[in-house]
Structure 1
Amino acid sequence: MLNMTAIQTEDRASGQASNGVEHVLTLDCPEGPGIVHAVSGFLLEYGCDIIDNKQFGDRSEGHFFMRVHFASDGNESTLDQLRAGFSPVAEKYNMKWRLERNGSRRKVLIMVSKFGHCLNDLLFRARVGELPIEVVGVVSNHTDHQALVDWHGIPFFHIPVTAATKPQAEARLLEIVDELDVELVVLARYMQVLSDDLARKLDGKAINIHHSFLPSFKGAKPYHQAYARGVKTVGATAHYVNAELDEGPIIAQQVVEVDHTFGPEDLVAAGRDTECKALSNAVRWHCEGRIILNGNRTVVLK
């Protein structure tokens, strides 16, 4: 198959700088000959310049994954023209695909309970432009972080949750998701288990941070579980939410070394940075169109 990275390198060597409107095409389809040629041919036909390309062929499962960042001449209407032009190519190869304007900020709703380090980290990264997101609201079952959220000028929604009120609380959450046109829900140490029904409704658009290196130490108090087992490494896992507790497709993981001198609270402290980094990576990769779900796994085209 044609090597698009080589095309990119040749273009750069000839001194052709990309200009115009930039887009990202992400796709996956059954493996087969001619896919890269078809994509590059389409881009050539529409006068597009490839800036970056990542691809992966899973030969064991016969599936192909691709992300192309490219520039085209034109204006805002160019995106619709490109989508219409690419549809026949996608149909021919049975592709699942997404074509978006590069740099588009996704509307994100953050959910948090009493631990605020991941919330604070995401709000800061969004504020300084490190993440391509617009935080449109924060939902919490406590009011501990309302002042922080208010300082950022972001709507804060207090939704208390008990066993008796959980259905009403989740219904209110879905109302907020619809009202704010939310594209991604981020559970930033939101210490409530979502119902199976809610998890299904948020399938593929909700990311959770779990404070352990999954699949080890699922459920409650994973750092205390890690201490009891005398581990020498603790970590955090960002994953998509599904109906199984802490079983969703893994996106990003971070670890830190520890030793026998670390008590449970020391492990909690050591793990905070890993939680923030794993979650921010997962949010960025999702919003940049770098993640493709592959069953209960993910392909991350970095």
Structure 2
Amino acid sequence: MSATRASLLVQGADATGIVAAVTGVLGRHGANIVSLDQYSDDPRGGAFFQRTVFGLDGLAAVRPALTADLDEELVKRYGLTWTLRDLSVPKRVAIFASRSDHCLLDLLWRHRRGQLPVTVAMVISNHPDTAEEVRGFGIPFFHVPSAGPDKSAAEAEHLKLLKDNVDFVVLARYMQILSGDFIERVGVPIINIHHSFLPAFVGAGPYAKAKERGVKLVGATAHYVTEELDEGPIIEQDVVRVSHADTAADLARRGADVERAVLSRAVLWHAEDRVVRDGRQTIVFA
């Protein structure tokens, strides 16, 4: 049997001996640790986070005993929480999009080239414009119109498509606001890409507003979606320098480049279990 690579995420209150406990448990079950990253915001009882990647022959067979050992050492002894995942099984993702296709097609291109370790289960859009391009990648495309103030019918259709079928959702410039009810009922993380460092230039025409203000930087923010619009925990951000000579179209083009890069990094890190949510913040083991 070849070794299965797995990730172990641990978080909770910091205490002496946690790292030794984790490595001890893995060692007793024959695991070979490939990488181990940790962070504590205060070694005297602050918050502790750790990501460990290891290889283990026959993980499926060993998993019940390993799970029991982790519970005994980490939960009962230290009061920590932990998650274990087989990295050979890609997370399933649904991508939501609208007419703007640069982030959508970039994700599909990176996925086809093997740069994103996910299974793209479907693309859902409120417009049919990108249907043929998406299907050209061999990905199912679903057109779910979402017009007017009442989004309940569209969200009900979304839930039918998504429920128990995906591990997370990516909003690739999906120009609709998700209701709190939908966010709760879908039951998986949702990642959004925003056209600026948050909060700034909200609403329509962000790059025209940026041009009017004479900005010298444009950027993008990838974050988890919560009921508070554009206030979710931030995963990744980046900027590019611009000048007074750039037109609004120039800003939009350069901003689109940053959006693609930031969103693809956020999706990659989430897919590889590199992101740990802690309240309104994230710990990213990039």
Instruction: Provide TM-score, normalisation by structure 2.
Output: 0.94
- Asked if structure 2 preserves the Cα contact closer than 8 Å seen for 1:218 and 1:246, the reply is no
Deviation for aligned residue 1:81: 3.5
Q: Quote the residue 2:134 is aligned against.
A: 149
Q: Quote the residue 1:189 is aligned against.
A: 173
Q: Quote the residue 2:98 is aligned against.
A: 113
Q: Quote the residue 2:236 is aligned against.
A: 252
User: Per the alignment, in what secondary structure is the counterpart of residue 33 of structure 1?
Assistant: coil
Q: Distance in 1 between matches of 2:271 and 2:108?
A: 15
Deviation for aligned residue 1:176: 0.6
- Asked if structure 2 preserves the Cα contact closer than 8 Å seen for 1:233 and 1:256, the reply is yes
Deviation for aligned residue 1:85: 2.4
Give, as a single letter, the amino acid of the residue that structure 1 aligns with 2:56.
S
Q: Distance in 1 between matches of 2:244 and 2:228?
A: 32
User: Per the alignment, in what secondary structure is the counterpart of residue 226 of structure 2?
Assistant: coil
Q: Quote the residue 2:52 is aligned against.
A: 68
Give, as a single letter, the amino acid of the residue that structure 2 aligns with 1:29.
G
Q: Quote the residue 1:227 is aligned against.
A: 211
Q: Distance in 2 between matches of 1:79 and 1:229?
A: 57
Counterparts in 2 of 1:248 and 1:229: CA distance versus 1, 3 Å: same
Q: Distance in 1 between matches of 2:148 and 2:138?
A: 31
User: 4+ residue runs of structure 1 moved beyond 6 angstroms?
Assistant: none
Give, as a single letter, the amino acid of the residue that structure 2 aligns with 1:136.
A
Q: Distance in 1 between matches of 2:206 and 2:20?
A: 48
Structure 2 residue 81 is the aligned partner of structure 1 residue 96? yes
Deviation for aligned residue 1:200: 3.1
Q: Quote the residue 1:40 is aligned against.
A: 23
- Asked if structure 2 preserves the Cα contact closer than 8 Å seen for 1:112 and 1:191, the reply is yes
- Asked if structure 2 preserves the Cα contact closer than 8 Å seen for 1:23 and 1:101, the reply is yes
Match for residue 262 of structure 1 among 242, 246, 252: 246
Q: Distance in 2 between matches of 1:75 and 1:29?
A: 25
Size of the aligned set, in residue pairs, is 283
Q: Quote the residue 2:40 is aligned against.
A: 57
Q: What is the percentage of aligned positions where both structures have the same residue? A: 44
Deviations 1:115-155 (A, max 9, x none): 00111011111111111111110100000100011111211
Q: Quote the residue 1:29 is aligned against.
A: 12
- Asked if structure 2 preserves the Cα contact closer than 8 Å seen for 1:20 and 1:73, the reply is yes
Q: Quote the residue 1:289 is aligned against.
A: 273
Deviation for aligned residue 1:165: 4.5
Deviation for aligned residue 1:110: 0.3
Structure 2 residue 68 is the aligned partner of structure 1 residue 84? yes
Stretch deviating more after TM superposition (43-52 or 83-92): 83-92
Deviations 1:178-222 (A, max 9, x none): 16x111110000000111222333466100001112232233332
Q: Distance in 1 between matches of 2:163 and 2:84?
A: 23
User: Per the alignment, in what secondary structure is the counterpart of residue 229 of structure 2?
Assistant: coil
Return 5+ residue gaps in structure 1 as ranges: 1-18
* RMSD of aligned residue pairs (Cα, Å): 1.7
Alignment of 1:180-219 (within 5 A): 181-202=165-186, 205-219=189-203
Q: Distance in 1 between matches of 2:65 and 2:207?
A: 51
Q: Quote the residue 1:128 is aligned against.
A: 113
Q: Distance in 1 between matches of 2:212 and 2:183?
A: 31
Deviation for aligned residue 1:157: 0.8
Q: Distance in 2 between matches of 1:170 and 1:65?
A: 35
User: Per the alignment, in what secondary structure is the counterpart of residue 76 of structure 1?
Assistant: helix
Deviation for aligned residue 1:47: 1.8
- Asked if structure 2 preserves the Cα contact closer than 8 Å seen for 1:136 and 1:155, the reply is yes
Q: Distance in 1 between matches of 2:24 and 2:243?
A: 55
